[in-house]
A and B are shown apart, each in its own frame.
Chain A
Amino acid sequence: MIPVSYSYRSLMVRWKTTLMTATGFTLVIAALIVMLAFINGLAEVCAISGDPNNVIVLNEGCTDEILSSISRATASQIETNPLVVRRPDGTSLSSRELFGVRTVYDKKIRDYVLMPFRGVSPSAFEVHNTVHVVSGRTFRPSQSEVIVGMSIKNAQKVELGDVLEIARKKWKVAGFFAAGGAALESEVWGDLDEMAGQFKKEGSYNSIVVRAESPARAKDLARSIDSSAQISVGAQTELDYYAKQAESTNFLRSAVWVIAWFMGIGAIFGVMNTMFAAISQRIKDIAVLRLLGFMSWEILIAFLLEAIMVSLIGGGLGMLVGYSANGFTQRFTISGHEVQFRFLVDASLLALAAAFSLIMGIMGGLLPAMSAMRVRPLEAFR
């Protein structure tokens, strides 16, 4: 084998060109990591948002609760399902919920922003048992009070006692709630009946969330409600529901890869260009190596290695830059929910970026290395 130091030193001798070519890789890899970290963060919010014990019931055919409408009678029938957990007094553990999105004027940024709101009864806090008030107190019915999720509080700098104007009615902020980072934290909660009156939705709900004893029971419950002959609703576990919401990130993921490849092709041509130039200056090196007895595939590997080294240097720097985006918070609207999440750079993303860099290096290095392999020693000396 031709020693690795040959490839490495040849790069270092022309370190300016090497650095410039590697910068192309740095930019591509950094951009790829930041974009995928964005999607990862989004997917993570969806993944932690579902409670495996809960089943969410929507209109048949509805994939999102904002379009769903379930009557009071249907809700009662759902709650009679024997798989739903009962309280000691025999009532079922169920949360009837109203959900909507309105624009709210944000004084800080002087613009309207989307505000998801949810009308709930006290049982919502039993069904969504990760939700708890962290400051202030919960809302009182019929007092035009709301509680605000922590991620809205942080993003819009809402204070206790602030007044939010939703649907021409002023609501006073009585407290703030957390939900373990789930999508619910990006919502405003108020009294179910009061909100129904305000939004003229009395007598119907957007969704019913019922609780089962275990994740396995929840699956059975969803199946049982789904196949019920009396009511035409669609039931799925919250895990499944949020997993479907996360599917909308798939198209984003595809878009990111399209962008990454377009940029990547730029980097590939960059390394191709420098490698062709390097090889044309080293035809005699190649000829000597061949005369000494090195095989053409050994020449191929030596030059391919050079391109791969460029890609790894550049890719490594790109990974450092991309990793600095880890934990950066951002808001994003996903099917009506404006959710807050943090960019997530994990080991698998870094491994993916390294592999992408390596593939770009190989693709950029292969053609020049093949041309090096075909150098005829005798002609090179003429």
Chain B
Amino acid sequence: MSTPPLRSNEPIVLVDGCTKNYSRGSETVSVLKSVHLEIARGDFVGLIGPSGSGKTTLLNLIAGLDQPTTGRVVINGVEISSLTEAQLALWRTNAIGFVFQFFNLIPVLTAFENVELPLLLLNMSRRRRREQVLNILELVGLGHRLTHRPGQLSGGEQQRVGIARALVTDPALVVADEPTGDLDSRKSQEILDLLQELQVRLNKTILIVTHDLAVAARVRRLLRISDGQLIDDTENPESVTHPLFGSLNVSNAARVKRAEAARS
């Protein structure tokens, strides 16, 4: 599947009038209601909303894991809502990196092998695979933990392996579903620092789904979803409010960090 050349101003993510309905018995539940969303290349975007608001469903549509009931999803110039399952699987390997809340590493494989997995699908020489895996593991700070299995790594380290696995195929878009949800606050900050650093260094587009206000405060653009609709779209959020947790001021440290990231 060849990716058509993109004009630089063309969004990497285009969700065009998408709805998603599920049928529960005779009842039809509308999870997404005519969502329109564009994300620019190289952006660091957060998607926040209460449980059941439709944020995971929207993420699944963008990641090519689910198909919209109506509307189009165009990622990096490819209209994925019209691909077959086999095409979609290959597209996902090339174009999307996943970071999960519970890391979801294969427990019997080593850190190296977990990161190598997506490359096995890409018809790549053993030597090149090794090179690429070593590079990315070095980048996430795990160059010394190659032969450890997930059970021998801490939660933070496991998530670093998860991030390395998401980035190893050099995808245009990385989607992260609650990437810090299973980590304590210090580890969460480290993982966010890492994501932010990689986003800038590798010029990746990152979409983070979260309900953690501390995470939401670190993104460049924050989308808020409620009841299947995007209700707010803020750039450089100064403070983030949450219907359940009230408001949170973005710390100076975070703001400085963001500014530094933008400069470099």
Contact = CB atoms under 8 A, between A and B. Distances in A.
A3 interface: yes
Nearest to B89: A293
A24 B86 CA distance: 38
Nearest to A382: B56
B121 A293 contact: yes
Interface in B65-107: 65-66, 86, 89-90, 92-93, 98, 100, 102, 104-107
Contacts of A295: 86, 89
Given A292-B98, A293-B121, A10 B92 contact: no
Given A292-B98, A294-B121, A378 B65 contact: yes
A10 B113 contact: no
A10 B105 CA distance: 14
10 contacts: A6-B108, A6-B109, A284-B104, A288-B100, A292-B117, A293-B90, A293-B121, A294-B89, A294-B121, A295-B89
Interface in B96-145: 98, 100, 102, 104-109, 113, 117-118, 120-121
Interface in B48-67: 60, 65-66
Contact of B104 (A10, A288, A293, A378): A288
Contacts of B90: 293
B104 to A, nearest CB: 5
Interface residues of B, number: 23
A284 B109 CA distance: 14
A292 B108 contact: no
Interface string A338-366: 00000000000000000000000000000
Contacts of B100: 288, 381
A201 interface: no
Interface residues of A, number: 22
A244 interface: no
A254 interface: no
* Nearest 9 CB-CB pairings of A with B: A293-B93, A9-B108, A288-B104, A293-B89, A292-B118, A293-B92, A293-B121, A10-B108, A285-B106
Interface string A1-27: 111011001100100000000000000
B93 A292 contact: yes
B123 to A, nearest CB: 11
B108 A289 contact: no
Contacts of A6: 106, 108-109
A9 B86 contact: no
A66 B118 CA distance: 75
A377 interface: yes
A63 B118 CA distance: 70
A114 interface: no
Nearest to B88: A293
